[in-house]
Amino acid sequence: MTVTVDGPDFIALQVRDVEAAATFCEQHLGMRRAPASPPGAVVFTTEPIPFAVREPLPGVHLDDVERPGLGVALWFRTADAQALHDRLAAAGVPILSPPRDSPFGLTFTFTGPEGYAITAHGG
């Protein structure tokens, strides 16, 4: 029997300040905390894949990188990408690429917690 992987099942960003990153996700992205999270992390009730922010794993030194997550594409689905863009821009969240049409709907990229580049798409 060949063992296969079904796909991503959990995504977490390693951050220096878990509470500040969690607050960013709540205030700017409308995410809600899950009823329980492991120590050193905040898990959100995102669907279909749970998302979290967490303390760095042993050996990870975020101060040694120019931008965390470089080389990883992190996309979040939203019902209205333009409205999210407008809300983030009005709040002073840096927009890395403006809204544009794509095969996945309207997309744009913004700077998330601690400098992670996050693309939003939909609607």
User: 31, 25 in Cβ contact below 8 A?
Assistant: yes
The answer to whether 27 touches 120, Cβ cutoff 8 Å, is no
The whole model's pTM is what?
0.91
pLDDT higher than threshold 90 for residue 123: no
Rounded distance between C-alpha atoms, residue 23 and residue 65, angstroms: 23
Among the listed residues 88, 83, 87, the one whose alpha carbon sits nearest the alpha carbon of residue 106? 83
Separation between Cα atoms, residue 100 and residue 42, nearest integer Å? 31
Helices (H) and strands (E) in the chain, counts: 2, 7
- Could you read off the pLDDT of 22-78 as tens digits, one per residue? 999 999 999 999 999 999 999 999 999 999 999 999 999 988 888 888 889 999 999
